[in-house]
Amino acid sequence: MHHRIALLLSAALPLGFAQDTVSYDYDSYGENDPEGTPFQTFMSNGDVKPPQMHINSNQSGLAPGYVFLGIDGEPTSEQNFPTIFDMSEERMGTLVWTGNYTEPFDFRAQTYQGQPVLTFWSGDLLGGFGHGSYYVLNQSYMEVAHFSPVGFVNEGDIHEFVITSDDTALVPIYHPVPVDLTSVGGDSDAWIYESTFQEINIETGELVFQWNASTHVGFNESFNSLSDVGTEDSPWDFFHINSIEKDINGDFLVSARVMDCIYKISGDDGHIIWRLHGQQSDFDVEETAYFSRQHDARWVDEQQTRMTLFDNGPRDDVEYSRGLLLAVDQDAMTVRLIQEFTNEAQTFGQYEGSLQAINESDSNTNFFLGYGNQPFFAEFDSNGNILLDAQFGKTNVVNSYRAYKLPWQGKPLTKPDIHFDKDGNMVYFSWNGATDVEEWIVYTANSTNTTRWSNVTSARRTGFETTIDLSELELQTYIRGRAVNGTGGTLGWTRAGDGEQFYDAPDGDDSFTSSSTTSTSSMSSTSAVSPTGTDVTTTSTLGPATSSPGPAISPTGGAAVSVQGFVDVIVGVVVVVGVGIL
Which 3-state string (H, E, C) describes 463-491? CCEEEEECCCCCCCCEEEEEEECCCCCEE
- The CB density around residue 579, as the number of other CB atoms within 10 Å, is 11
The C-alpha angle with vertex 27 and arms to 91 and 11, in degrees rounded to 5, equals 75
Low pLDDT (below 50) residues in the chain: 1-17, 511, 513-517, 521-537, 543-579
Q: What is residue 547's predicted lDDT score, i.e. its pLDDT?
A: 37
| Closest by CA position to 123, among listed 95, 149, 85 | 149
CA atoms 511, 517, 522, 526: torsion sign: negative
Per-residue confidence (pLDDT) for residue 315, from 0 to 100 = 85
Q: What is the pLDDT of residue 17?
A: 45
C-beta of residue 374 within 8 angstroms of C-beta of residue 324: no
The letter for the amino acid at 473 is L
So what's the pLDDT on residue 538? 52
Phi and psi, residue 361, nearest 5°: -80, -10
pLDDT of residue 537: 47
Q: Is 570 helix (H, G, I), strand (E, B) or coil?
A: helix
Which string of DSSP letters, residue by residue, matches 96-122? EEE---SS-EEEEEEEETTEEEEEEEE
Q: Using omega within 30 degrees of 0 as the cis cutoff, is the peptide bond preceding 104 cis? A: no
CA of 479: how far to CAs of 456, 500, 505, in Å? 10, 12, 11
Instruction: Of 159, 161, 215, give the one whose Cα is nearest residue 192.
Output: 215
Q: What is the pTM of this model?
A: 0.88
- Whole-angstrom CA distances from 580 to 226, 260, 352, 398, 573 are 14, 16, 11, 16, 20
Instruction: Give the rounded distance of the alpha carbon of 41 from its chain centre.
Output: 19
Task: Give the Cα separation of 489 and 492 in Å (integer).
Answer: 9
156 secondary structure, DSSP code: B
CA 314 to centroid of chain Cα atoms: 25
Residues of the chain by 3-state class (helix, strand, coil), percent to 5 = 5, 40, 55
Parallel, antiparallel, or unpaired: how do β-strands 398-406 and 417-421 relate?
unpaired
- Domain 417-519 CATH class label: mainly beta
Contact 352, 307 (CB under 8 A): no
Nearest to 124 by CA among 106, 143, 104: 104
Count CB-CB contacts under 10 A for residue 491. Answer: 17
Strands 284-285 and 334-341, bridge-based pairing: parallel
Query: What is the per-residue pLDDT for 539?
Result: 55
DSSP assignment of 273-332, as one string? EEEESSTT-SSEE-GGG---S-EEEEESSTT--EEEEEE----SS--S-EEEEEEEETTT
Q: Residue 449 and residue 496: Cα distance in Å, rounded?
A: 10
Q: What is the pLDDT of residue 581?
A: 62
